[in-house]
Structures are given as C-alpha cells and as structure tokens.
Amino acid sequence: MSMITATTWVPRGFAAPFPTKYVFDEGEYERIAQLAKLQLDDAKEELEEAKEDKKSKGKSSGVSGGSSKEKDTEEIDDDLKEYDLEHYDDDDEGGDTMAMFGNVKNLIYHDGNDEDDDGYIAMDGPDAQEEEDEEEREELQILATDNLVLAGRIEDEVAHLEVYVYEDEADNLYVHHDIMLPAIPLAVEWLDVPVGKTSGDSDARGNFVAVGTMDPDIEIWNLDVVDSMYPDAVLGQGAEDAEDAEKKKKKKKKSKKVNDNFHVDAVLSLASNRHHRNLLASASADQTIKLWDLNTTKCAKSYAYHTDKVSSVAWNPVESTVLLSGSYDRTVVAADMRAPDAKAPRWGVESDIEAIRWDPHDSNYFYVSTENGIIHYHDARNAPSTPSSTKPVWILQAHDESISSFDINPVIPGFIATGSTDKQTKLWNVQASGPSMVVSRDLGVGKVFSTTFAPDKEVGFRLAVAGSKGAVQIWDTSTNAAVRAAFASKVPKMKEGAKERLVGLEEEDTDSDSEEGEEDEEEAARDHDGWESMEE
C-alpha cells in the first residue's frame, strides 16, 4: 500500500543548483553516534518495561505463569545479548563513543585495477572517478526555472519524504532524492531560513523542510544535501535527550504528559512565519500549539486554546503575529501570539475542522474546511460573542465527504481548489456574492489528501494534487476550458489546439478541451446553488 499524505512547493531560486552529497566526517560520526545511542536507550527502556509488565502479570497469574514469563524473558535476553545493552551506555574514556561504529575508520578498500583483487568495493583511477563525480553532479542539478515539490509518502509501512523536481516547460516531474522518516508524515512545511544559525543575519537564506509525523518530534532536513542519514535538527523531546547524552547524563524516561517544552502526540500541522522567519508554529493531537525558535531549535511558547486535537494552524499574511488555529473541538481561534493571556476571538463550525487558511488577497478573511464537506468563509473583524452564534459570510457544501485539503491561489484572487476523500478535486471562482464551481475532476490519485497551488507567478495556475494511490499530479489548470472561461483576463495565451496539461496522468484519461468544457459548464450550473449566502 502506498499513499501520499501531504505536499508543499519550494519557490524557484531557493534550491542549490548543485546539491551536495552527504559527507560522513568526524563531526557527523560523533553526532550520529549520539543519536544511535538514544535509539538503543529507547530499546533498552522498552525491554525493561516489557519485563516489568511480565513480572506483574506473572504475579497475578500464579507460579505456572511466572515460569513461562521467565522463559520468555530469557529468550529476549538471548536475542539482545549481542548488543550488550546493560553496558553500552557506560563511559568509555579510552575509546570511541559507540562500539557499533568502532571499525568505521579501519574499513579496507581494495583497488579494482588489480587483476587478482576480488574485493567487494572497487576504486577506479582518479580520472574515472572525477568523470563519474561530474556526471553525478549534472544529474543532481536543479535549474533556476525548476520548482521542487515535497511529498510525504507511506509505502508498505516505510515512511519517507520525496523531493520532486518539476520542470514546467518540459512537462516533467521526477524524484530527485528522498529522505527516510520515523513515522507516517502528516505535515510538510518548507523553511527559507538556515535552521540552528544564530549569526544575526536576518537576510540569510536557507532551503530546509520541517516534517511533522505520528511521532511527537518535528524533524528538520536540509534539502540541499542528498542522502543524509539523520535530520539536521529535531524540535522536541528527542533533541533534549540528545543534549543530555552529550553531557553524559542519565537518560530520563520519555514524558507523555502535556507540557510547555515539547509535543507528546502526533504533529498534525506546521506553519512557518514569512515575516518573523525564525518562528515555526506547530499543532498537535496533544491539544496544544507550540511556537519554535528555529535559531535555537527550542520551544519559545506553548498555547492551549483548544479542548481537542488541533488540526491546522496558519499565520496571518499581514498581521504577522496573529495565528489562526482550527481544532476537532469544532472551533477556530485567531490569537495574537504577543498576548497569550488575552481572550482570543473564537468561531464555531458544524463538525471537526480539517484545514484553515487566511485569504492571501484580503487578510481580514479566512476559510475553514470541515469533515462534513463544507467550506466556511469568515470575516475576522466580526467575531461572535459565542462560538454557537457564529455567522459566516457564506458557507458552501463543496463535497459529499470530508474536505481533507484546500488551497487559495496566491496569484489569482478568488481562485480556490478543494480536495476530498470522495476522490474529487474541484476548482471554484469566489465572487462577492459567493463561490461558483468551475470544474470537478477525478485526477486518479484516489482519496485526495493534498491540494496545493504553486507559489510562483510564472506557474501560478499549477496545482499539485496527491492522495491514497500514492501519486502526485501537477495540473496546469490554465489549460482547462472552464478555467479559461472563468478567469479569462488572468489566463496566459495558449497555442491554438493545445491540450490540457496534467503531468503524470495517463494519456487516455485526459478528456479533450471541447468535451470537458461542455461537461464543466453543465456541472457548474447544477452545483451553483450548493452554497448558501449568510451575508446580512
């Protein structure tokens, strides 16, 4: 089974033209040794907990159960004996930090030019090696006109982040490299700041990604480095454990109690602040929102505005300290992070909130999507006295099932896309009186989990769609007949007879412009009354 759970774009010009290969040097060796030590710590802790559980069960079930318990424990001990878990964390004053890496410096490479050499690793001459390196460098090249698309994938219980290169003019989408993840990815957020740097250079640019998963820790990876083994930074208790290990302190038992320093449950949403670029907000199933300082990789503040899982967070594009949050408690809160104790305005909706977004073209308004397939449009200046008295500007029954994702086009005002577990991707034209549907399509991705518009003006009509079938599709919506009719003044000119562009979709699944245009117009007419205006 393969599915893609989250996607995001990297704007043009941020990726390094030639990403570097991961280097396993002395410093990296020490860092990985500490991280590996933590993993062994966890294994030892789980083993001890298992022993304690069996002891308690053995006492309650009598002597016969106890003998069975002892046999099972002996078998576990035999299996783990080779790892010497009882002594692996003892200080080793005279040797390497980790025995498992003890022979790394003594690896012998056999020269493949020797006819009698049957070694496993062949090292070619310097000229051949340079030629091979140059070819590999060219293969990794990213052009200034390329976009990166980041996709969190789970496949056969293995989770990883795929880094795609999208070549718009060539209609080409391919995996550039991927990153192994510890658990199912739930949120992917691109970062434009060098993480962990405290140089004070506010203009410094970076190309990093923050990934939230079913685990409570947030991993941060450098997208300009290929084949990294461990993340560049960890936001959460894992990072604190690493510091304790470096100080040779005894590892504390992992806390599962909600606190102000780190999450203790799955991370469901991430939002980077484009004005205060060192700030990252995270929403968790532990019902809290955390604000992280990317310079220090520490939690700066924790907020508890909700009484259930916090599913989505978004920074206001103009009022840069105002954070919008949506929760399974069926409320939306717009809070100023500078005044955490002040009473924040709160809006109510009819079911669990899936996603929220500020309107990038008018920061006084925001959108909310729900599990019932409804889109709400609110004026943030008109906060209700109670959530139950909420009156949206308009509401729209956009889908029959949950709206798992939606996005607002950053270039074309009034152009939004919704994706649902009903497998449909729909495009809407939002006018003053409310939204009207432009087109509805099944793009062959299964249940839609992610719909995101490209961030650059040159590719403003491109929409990345992904879902339960594990495919990413890039839809050039400007080549669709109904979209061209709805946004005629905004759509770039097309060559006569050009077909609709959908990178990754089978040729036979793509309808002609004329046939689809007629179907779209009929469907738009039928669904135009699907929204209800709530304007006074």
- Residue 331 and residue 451 in one domain: yes
Using the predicted structure, report yes or no on whether residue 119 has a pLDDT greater than 50.
no
DSSP string of 401-432?
Answer: S---EEEE-SSSTTEEEEE-TTS-EEEEEEET
- Residue 405 and residue 516 in one domain: yes
Quote the pLDDT of residue 138.
Answer: 73
Using the predicted structure, report yes or no on whether residue 463 has a pLDDT greater than 90.
yes
Q: For 171-193, what is each residue's pLDDT tens digit?
A: 999 999 999 999 999 999 999 99
Residue at 324: amino acid letter: L
The angle at the Cα of 355, spanning 351 to 356, to the nearest 5 degrees, equals: 105
Q: For 344-359, what is each residue's pLDDT tens digit?
A: 999 999 999 999 999 9
Tokens of 282: 């995270």
Domain count, the chain: 2
In the sheet that 310-315 helps form, which strands lie side by side, from edge to edge?
A: 310-315, 322-327, 331-336, 346-348
- Overall pTM > 0.85: no
- Please check whether residue 473 lies inside any domain of the structure: yes
Domain boundary among 82, 107, 132: 107
- CATH classification of the domain holding 465: 2.130.10.10
Quote the pLDDT of residue 31.
Answer: 63
Domain boundary among 53, 79, 107: 107
- Please check whether residue 237 lies inside any domain of the structure: no
- Residue 189 and residue 59 in one domain: no
Lowest-pLDDT range, 58-72, 107-121, 432-446, 487-501?
107-121
CA 158 to chain centroid, in Å, comes to 15
- Residue 73 and residue 199 in one domain: no
- Residue 455 and residue 346 in one domain: yes
C-alpha to C-alpha distance for 171 and 166, rounded to whole angstroms: 8
CA-to-CA separations, 187 to 54, 148, 383, 475, in angstroms, rounded: 37, 16, 29, 22
- % of the chain exceeding 90 in pLDDT: 59
Domain membership of residue 92 as a residue range: 21-107
Return the residue matching tokens 């594009």. 317
Quote the pLDDT of residue 126.
Answer: 62
- Please check whether residue 32 lies inside any domain of the structure: yes
Residue at 237: amino acid letter: Q
- % of the chain exceeding 70 in pLDDT: 71
- Please check whether residue 120 lies inside any domain of the structure: no
Quote the pLDDT of residue 339.
Answer: 87
- Please check whether residue 255 lies inside any domain of the structure: no
Q: What share of the chain is helix, strand, coil (3-state, %, to 5)?
A: 25, 35, 45
- Residue 286 and residue 379 in one domain: yes
Q: For 231-281, what is each residue's pLDDT tens digit?
A: 999 999 887 655 554 444 444 556 689 999 999 999 999 999 999 999 999
Quote the pLDDT of residue 44.
Answer: 76
Domain boundary among 107, 131, 165: 107
pLDDT grade for 498, boundaries at 50, 70 and 90: confident
- Residue 201 and residue 77 in one domain: no
Number of residues in the chain: 536
Residues whose CB is less than 8 angstroms from the CB of residue 425 and which lie 6 or more positions away in sequence, other chains included: 417, 418, 419, 440, 441, 442, 443, 448, 451, 463, 465, 475
- Residue 76 and residue 191 in one domain: no
- Please check whether residue 435 lies inside any domain of the structure: yes
- Residue 193 and residue 298 in one domain: yes
